[in-house]
Chains A and B, each alone.
Chain A
């Protein structure tokens, strides 16, 4: 069995295990944590396409997340269009947006690029905040209806959301898997390692970046659509703030940036940690949960700069593939 086949077997195992989990865990809160973990794994996997493989550190993916969430909510709440289509529409809009923004932004390098992505996402946040047609600060409330796979509304049952988030993760994983071995993947790694050298070798640097951005934005928006259906209420502050942009990058960085499994591993550590420190320590209001959460992020990122994954294979460097 080749290394790549092994990865697929591993994925099957993980998927089966995670699919069984909602049958074993019945606690609603724990399932909620599982949904969030899988969702952030998928979103971080999407971020990883642009940030990890292509090396363009975006800290503004909240924009695409927000576009996905808003497109889905507006289509459903105003026109009754199923969130399945709404999320796809959000994905396409985000993709076009990413291409439009990428055109000027990909001339920028390093921190200038990262700050530009932050600033563009902030502009998006402010525009939505002041755009009354999509609810402005009031946000959008999803109509309360019966449980249904068409509207993606489930009153008490969290298992459907686990499957949806798992599905989204598997899709983003498979796309990443396919990329790793494709011509695009080769180009992107070349762009990440040394754009000048890549250029001289005939890699189309600019087109590579655009393709990565479009793909990354598309799946981030799908995640936003999922989140809107999951929470059934969105407002600008709860889907478009900078905090989300960080949360998409963080799992990949903690798990192993530019790796196939990094985002899932990172999310599996980070999200339960975030949720559980808040839930079981946050009620006191003395800030202890923040102290522990902050210290752990710091310690993990300092102790394992190559990501938690590097614990498992000693010589693996994230970009070690030829």
Chain B
């Protein structure tokens, strides 16, 4: 492989990794806050892509312009998912983890069915947009603009998340709730409100990723699956609940996946990512940056 080809694969891997991180961080946030693994995460990504597509059809505004609207919509959807589903799942007295897994799994199937019902199973895409199909050529290494944009959004989101967690009252409430769910009630924090905000935020983040993906990816009711699997691995690799871990792990997974496809038969490239996860947790059982 030439140096140029290597740099190309590396750059593509990094850009994809930033996107993986953005998809995963919402999952990680929700987990860190309330120990819930959300099996409908890929479906929220899919809904955000359809929302972008639908709004684009209706308004013919560029996806970039639609981003705030879609993100706000996803925030509301996340909060609703908490109030409508997760709140009840957390009431379970026994095997809470499994109940959550299967309640959100049921939600995932439901959302897929709804998507097929309302949008038909056709493969959609946004053929023309400001960024779509444009690419930066830096000395023979091509950086597609939609992915570059996605990478920037991802970095901004992580920076924003850092400020939010570190500097605001909401962040402190999140932190407190995460530390000790029983004690927060005593200091007058409304647990339900914090959780709902957490879900809203987590789903809004995957909504951002959905808008970016809608620019350069196809859209259909099952599009979320492969991304969700990667997101679970990213979250666990980085350490459940660790925001920085999700970023680091996303980048690592993106690069390893891209490089593996040049060494292994491409059909088996994911094996490298999976082995990496196993290798890391066998040495560090709580992921790269997780705490147990």
Whether A and B touch directly in their complex, counting CB atoms under 8 A apart, is answered as yes
Give me the interface of A with B, judged by CB distance under 8 Å: 57, 104, 107-112, 114-116, 118-120, 122-123, 126-127, 129-130, 242, 246, 249-250, 253-254, 257-258, 285-299, 301-302, 305-306, 317-319
Contact with A along B224-243 (1 / 0, CB 8 A): 00000100110010001000
**Are the C-beta atoms of A306 and B92 separated by less than 8 Å?**
yes
In the complex, how many angstroms separate the beta carbon of A320 from the nearest chain B beta carbon?
A: 10
Contact partner of A305 (CB less than 8 A), chosen from B92, B229, B286, is B92
Chain B residues whose CB sits within 8 angstroms of the CB of A291 once the complex forms: 110, 113-114, 117
**Chain B residues whose C-beta falls within 8 Å of the C-beta of A257 in the assembled complex:** 94-95, 98
Report the separation of the CA atoms of residues A120 and B278 in the bound assembly, to the nearest whole angstrom. Answer: 8
Q: What are some 28 contacts across the A-B interface (CB < 8 A)?
A: A104-B278, A104-B282, A108-B281, A109-B285, A111-B236, A112-B285, A112-B287, A115-B232, A115-B236, A116-B278, A119-B233, A120-B274, A126-B267, A130-B265, A130-B267, A250-B105, A253-B101, A290-B112, A291-B110, A293-B109, A293-B113, A294-B106, A294-B109, A295-B106, A296-B106, A299-B106, A305-B91, A305-B95
Interface string of B77-117 (1 = CB under 8 A from A): 00000000100110111111111011101111111111111
Taking a contact as CB atoms under 8 Å apart, the answer to whether A301 and B236 are in contact is no
A291 to B115, CA, bound (A): 9
Contact, CB under 8 Å: A294 / B107: yes
Residues of A within 8 A of B275 (CB): 123
The 6 A-B pairs of least Cβ separation, nearest first, read A290-B113, A287-B116, A294-B109, A305-B92, A298-B106, A294-B110
Q: Which residues of A contact B37 (CB under 8 A)?
A: 111, 114
Set of chain A residues within 8 Å of B106, measured between Cβ atoms = 294-299, 301
Are B236 and A112 interface neighbours, CB within 8 A? yes
CA distance A291 to B286 in the complex (A): 36
- Asked if B112 contacts A119 (CB within 8 A), the reply is no
B5 at the interface (CB under 8 A from A): no
Given contacts A109-B292, A296-B106, A306-B92, contact A115 B285 (CB under 8 A): no
Given A293-B113, A294-B112, A298-B85, A115:B277 Cβ within 8 A: yes
Flag if A298 contacts B103 (CB, 8 Å): yes
User: Given A57-B98, A291-B117 in contact, is the A130-B268 Cβ separation under 8 Å?
Assistant: yes
Enumerate B264-289 residues with CB–CB distance to A below 8 Å.
Answer: 265, 267-268, 270-271, 274-275, 277-278, 281-282, 285-287
CB of B108 within 8 A of CB of A294, answer yes
In this complex, what residue of B is CB-closest to A296? B106
Q: Which residues of B contact A289 (CB under 8 A)?
A: 113
- Partner of B116 from the list A120, A130, A290 (CB cut-off 8 Å) is A290
Asked if A112 and B99 sit within 8 Å, CB to CB, the answer is: no
B254: Cβ under 8 A from any A Cβ: no
Contact A288–B117 (Cβ < 8 Å): yes
Contact yes or no, A317 B281, CB < 8 A: no
Chain A residue numbers with a CB within 8 Å of B292 are 109
Beyond A115-B233, A294-B108, 10 extra complex contacts between A and B, CB < 8 Å:
A112-B281, A112-B285, A123-B274, A126-B268, A249-B102, A287-B115, A290-B113, A298-B110, A302-B88, A305-B93
Q: Are A119 and B107 in contact (CB under 8 A)?
A: no
Cα–Cα, bound, A290→B236 (Å): 29
Q: Which residues of B contact A294 (CB under 8 A)?
A: 106-113
Distance in angstroms from B48 CB to nearest chain A CB is 19
**Smallest CB–CB gap between B40 and chain A, Å?**
10
Q: Counting CB contacts under 8 A, is B221 at the interface?
A: yes
Chain B hits for A286, CB < 8 A: 116-117
Instruction: Report if B182 contacts A (CB, 8 A).
Output: no
Q: How far is the CB of B273 from chain A (nearest CB, A)?
A: 8
| A267 to B: closest C-beta gap in Å | 14
By a CB distance below 8 angstroms, the chain A residues around B270 are 122, 126
CB distance from B101 to the nearest CB of A (A): 8
User: Are the C-beta atoms of B282 and A119 separated by less than 8 Å?
Assistant: no
Nearest CB of A to B3, in Å: 30
Decide: B102 and A318 in contact? CB cutoff 8 A: no
